[in-house]
Each structure stands twice: as structure tokens, then as C-alpha cells.
A and B are shown apart, each in its own frame.
Chain A
Amino acid sequence: MGTLTGQTAVIMGASGEANFGSVIARRLAREGAHVVVSARREAPLVALAEEIGGLAVACDVTDEDQIKALFDRAREHFGRVDMALYSAGTYAVGALAELSREAIQPSLDISFIGALLFFKHAAASMPDGGSILTLSSLTARLPGPGLAVYAGARAGIDFAIEVAAHEYAEQGVRFNSLAPGLVETDMTDDLFAMPEIVAAHIQATPAGRMGTLDDVAEAALFLLDSGRSAYVNGQVLDLAGGQQTGRLPRF
């Protein structure tokens, strides 16, 4: 018997071989949860769903009907929804001076509007309470040039979960956010283009290392499982080895 046996989780943004959504899905499945994995396209989800005995459902978060349908499918298939993770995102960087409405809109659609509508339908599928978690970012905790859109949308959601925690208090749905910093992956070739950046992040990180996907999975498990974190609500958890604290300049 796992600690999550009998519970169901819906994971949005699980299409990578080893991205946040997929490692969290595996971690929850290992605890015995039924897991619905979702992303815009279904094909990349199928192998993961098979591996963890879950269900793959395609869902475009820019279409509210599809979000609603995702949770309907989850309830039809597993009878209930207890946990939901929002880990969809898109790459968007650029200085304010270079921004246009067209450049801003896709990030806003996915990272802000999509997240709120995901919360709406996730909570609606949890009449007896549950736990909703969203992925924020270190960039929404410390300012970095070029990230007004990417980080601004996440910072907005980090406040929205506080609002949501109050709105859904009576229903017993908790809302939390996880804000990882630089996370090490198996894709060393990609990361390798940037050892200086890795070094700079590590130098600014009291823990003295990059985060790992395990760190992410454990933190997400804690926040999603009401058996572990029932008294944590409306909280952004920094997962950045202390880098989120910033510090006074060295001299």
C-alpha cells in the first residue's frame, strides 16, 4: 500500500522524458496514486502513461472546454480527483523595450490565464477537497532582466493562489506553488552550453549545488499530498537551495 493508494492526480505538462511534470507523475504513481498525464499533444504522453499505469489525455490549456474535459475524463476513469498539478509553460524572454502584444500574449495565455482556468476546473472536480499545486520559478522570486513576461505571469499566479486559498476554504481545496531554481537534468548536452551560468547560479546558492529532479518530485509530493501537508495553504515554496534569499553584495 502506497501513501497515495486510492487517490487520483491530474498532471498538466508531462510530455517530456524527464521534465517536472513527468518526474512528479512518476513519484505520485510510486506512492500508489492513479495519475492522469496531460499536455497539448497526446503522442508524447502515451509511453509515460503506460509506464506508470496511468491515463494520457491531450489538453490545450488555451481552450477552456478542453480543460473541463480533462477533469471530466479523470473523474470518469478514476472516480475522483484529489490532486492537480499545473506545470505547463512556454519559453519567453525579452527586454521590455523589445516586447509587443504578440510576444506577450502566448505566455499570458498559458502561464496566467491557463493556470487560473485549470484551477477553476480542478477545484470543481474536488467537491470533497483536495490539493492544487502550480509550478512557479525562481525568476518570479528574484528579478532578472528580460523576464517581465515569463516571471510576471508566474508571480501573478503566486498571488492568485492566496486568493484561491480563501475562495475555496469551505470546500477544503488547498492551493500552493513550487518555485524551483536551476535544476540539473540528464540533458547535459543542453546544459553544457552554459557552465558559466551554472557556476554563477551555484555561487549564489547557499546549498552549493544545482537542484535535482528528485528535489522537485519530493517537494511536489509533499505539497500535493494532503496527508503530508494539510496545514500548508496559499504558500509558495522556494526550491532553490537558498538562492531565493539573494544577498548583499560581496566586496
Chain B
Amino acid sequence: MAGFGRRSTAEQVSAGIDLTGITALVTGANTGLGLETTRVLALRGARVHMACRDQLRATEARDALLAGADGIAPEQLAILALDLNDLGKVREAGKEFLALGEPLDLLVNNAGIMIPMERRTADGFEAHLGINHLGHYLFTRLVLDSLLAAERSRVVVLSSAAAGLATLTDEFDDLNWERRRFRGFPSYGDSKLMNHMFARELYRRYGDQGLVANALHPGVIATELGRDQSAIFNLVGVLAYPFMKTIPQGAATTLRVATDPRYATRGGLFFKDCREARPPHRLALNDGACEDLWQISAELVGLH
């Protein structure tokens, strides 16, 4: 058994695993962790639907993967238009995917936003709530039949250690930030906590039908950090450095949870650094709260 950890890469944790015949769908597949996840899934033989908002960027990303040295075949990569900012468009994407009649073995809810300012989605939801949680909630429920049509399926949800900053309580007061002064950190944390709660409830509801759902913290990926010259930011940047990962390291936990045989039947867990980890917020361990959130989310997106 390999000891995988925070420095392991997506390729390392999936080495020797054959995904030929597996159909996967990755949201936010055109950039960053989603692109690396797509690349390595395809490298191992999977067919991957790249669910992206911007079709031009999706096409460019697909072209780049096909032009790369991984030997990925054109029929391995499909593009699905998915705009999580607009629940009407999420419904269209769900319909379009269902119409393919293809069993879905792996769904990776990877897309997400992280912004400091208050923004609303097309449906009037606070953007972290709307895009990170509700959009994915609706899409997952819409393609549920495809997931259940696969003999075994996995749903991998990218949550975050930032769920530890969440303000959410089991009363789910003011989920949509209408009565409180908006704060970016807690709002992002709330959405990431909801991601984790969603994964647990999804597994609780459908685990006995062969669907396994898990949530994870990918790590913090080194990007433009530290190039700012302000003194405070430098200090923060220094404190951030030991936490940061490269993109191949950031996608490793996703690939592990998505492909390792040992996680084929175990759900409702939280992972980081390619291992099971302590969940960042205890509300996610409250089964009643997870169930309540499922119901509240159903009402918000107009499902039941």
C-alpha cells in the first residue's frame, strides 16, 4: 500500500488504476484543479464530460488536453454547457446529459467561486450559496438517474477546510445573506460546509443503491500569492506558504477518492491530503441538519 500524502500528485495516486469504460463528469473542467482532474482521469482511460460555463474556454482546454503528451483520444473528452450561475441553465444541462442515456460512474463537483464581495446569481441567490451549493445540488439531483444506472457510482464533492469559518447553524437562518451584513470569508465557508453536508446526505439516501459520495479539501494551490509588495500581505503570504500545493498535488485527493478501490464502497467521509481527515465543521456530522439542508435546498431550487 502506498503512503499518499500532501505532496502526492494526481498521477501518483491513480497510477496503475484502469478507468477504461468509466464515464465521468467534472464541473469546472476547463481550468485549474478541474482541468488536471479531467486530464488524469482521461489518462487512466476514462471518458470525461467537461461541464463548463464558457464554451470557448472549454473547447480550448479540450484541444490542449488532446494536443498534450498523454495520448488522450478525442472520443474520451466531451463538453457539456453548464452555467451554475443560473438554475434554468442547470436544468437544461441536466436534461441534455440525461438525454445521452449514459450511465454516470463518477461525478466530480469541482467548480466553485471564492469572492470577497457580495454578488447575486441569476436567481437572486448569494453567489457562494447559489453556485457552490445550490447549482451543484440541483445538477446532481437531475443526473441522479444516470448515477444510479451505473452499477456503482461515486460522487466526489470539493469542499474546503474553509468550512471551518462557516456561520451556519442547524436553524439555517438567513442562508441567503439578506438580513446580515455580507462577509466574504464566512459566506464562502458556509457554501463549503453545505457541500460537505450535501455529500453526507446524498450517501445516506442512496448508498444502498450503490452510490458513494464523499467530500474533500483539495488544499490551497500556489497561484499569484506573494507577489504583492505590501508588508501585511507579505506576512500572510509567508504564513500561507507551508500550506500551499501545486495543481497536480491539489487534484490528488480528488483522484484518490474518485478512483482508489478502497473508497469504492465507503461514503459520507471527509478527506484531505489524500487521506481521511477530521471534518472542519461539526455541523456536517449532524445527520438531522444534513437532512434539513437537503429539504431546504430542494425548496430553494424548486424540487421536492
Cα A58 to Cα B223 with chains together (Å): 33
Q: Which residues in B have their C-beta under 8 angstroms from that of A146?
A: 241-242
Q: Is A71 an interface residue (CB 8 A)?
A: no
Cα A18 to Cα B228 with chains together (Å): 15
- A residues 180-235 with Cβ under 8 Å of B? 180-183, 185, 187-203
Q: Are B231 and A195 in contact (CB under 8 A)?
A: no
Q: Are A182 and B231 in contact (CB under 8 A)?
A: no
Cα A199 to Cα B278 with chains together (Å): 14
Size bin of chain B's contact surface: 35 or more
Q: Are B238 and A196 in contact (CB under 8 A)?
A: no
Q: Is B217 an interface residue (CB 8 A)?
A: yes
Kindly identify which residue among A20, A93, A150 contacts B232, using a CB–CB cutoff of 8 Å: A20
Q: Are B217 and A196 in contact (CB under 8 A)?
A: yes
Cα A191 to Cα B185 with chains together (Å): 9
CB distance from A57 to the nearest CB of B (A): 18
Q: Which of B20-28, B144-152, B160-168, B169-177 contacts A (4 or more CB under 8 A)?
A: B160-168
Q: Is A115 an interface residue (CB 8 A)?
A: no
Q: Are A15 and B231 in contact (CB under 8 A)?
A: yes
Q: Which residues in A have their C-beta under 8 angstroms from that of B240?
A: 194, 197
Cα A147 to Cα B124 with chains together (Å): 44
Q: Are B236 and A16 in contact (CB under 8 A)?
A: no
CB distance from A125 to the nearest CB of B (A): 24
Q: Is B188 an interface residue (CB 8 A)?
A: yes
Q: Are A137 and B238 in contact (CB under 8 A)?
A: yes
The answer to whether residues A16 and B232 also contact, given A189-B116, A193-B224, A196-B243 and a CB cut-off of 8 A, is yes
Q: Is B288 an interface residue (CB 8 A)?
A: no
CB distance from A109 to the nearest CB of B (A): 16
Kindly identify which residue among B115, B188, B225, B232 contacts A185, using a CB–CB cutoff of 8 Å: B232
Q: Are A182 and B236 in contact (CB under 8 A)?
A: yes
Q: Are A199 and B161 in contact (CB under 8 A)?
A: yes
Q: Is B206 an interface residue (CB 8 A)?
A: no
The answer to whether residues A145 and B242 also contact, given A185-B232, A188-B184, A190-B230 and a CB cut-off of 8 A, is yes
Kindly identify which residue among B165, B184, B188, B234 contacts A91, using a CB–CB cutoff of 8 Å: B234
CB distance from A194 to the nearest CB of B (A): 5
Cα A191 to Cα B234 with chains together (Å): 11
Cα A199 to Cα B243 with chains together (Å): 11
Q: Are A196 and B162 in contact (CB under 8 A)?
A: yes
Q: Which residues in B have their C-beta under 8 angstroms from that of A87?
A: 231
CB distance from A5 to the nearest CB of B (A): 29
Highest count of chain B CB atoms <10 Å: which of A21, A182, A191:
A191
Q: Which residues in B have their C-beta under 8 angstroms from that of A13?
A: 231
- A residues 71-93 with Cβ under 8 Å of B? 87, 89-93
Q: Which residues in A have their C-beta under 8 angstroms from that of B230?
A: 16, 19, 187, 190
Kindly identify which residue among A18, A20, A180, A202 contacts B165, using a CB–CB cutoff of 8 Å: A202
Cα A139 to Cα B243 with chains together (Å): 13
- A residues 90-145 with Cβ under 8 Å of B? 90-93, 137-139, 144-145
Q: Are A183 and B116 in contact (CB under 8 A)?
A: no
Residues of A within 8 A of B (CB): 13, 15-16, 18-21, 87, 89-93, 137-139, 144-147, 150-151, 180-183, 185, 187-203, 250
A-B contact pairs, 12 of them (CB 8 A): A16-B231, A91-B237, A145-B242, A146-B242, A183-B232, A183-B236, A195-B184, A195-B188, A196-B243, A198-B162, A198-B165, A199-B162
7 closest Cβ pairs, A-B complex: A144-B242, A91-B234, A19-B231, A195-B162, A192-B116, A199-B164, A93-B241
Residues of B within 8 A of A (CB): 114-116, 160-165, 184-185, 188-189, 217, 219-220, 223-226, 228-243, 278, 280
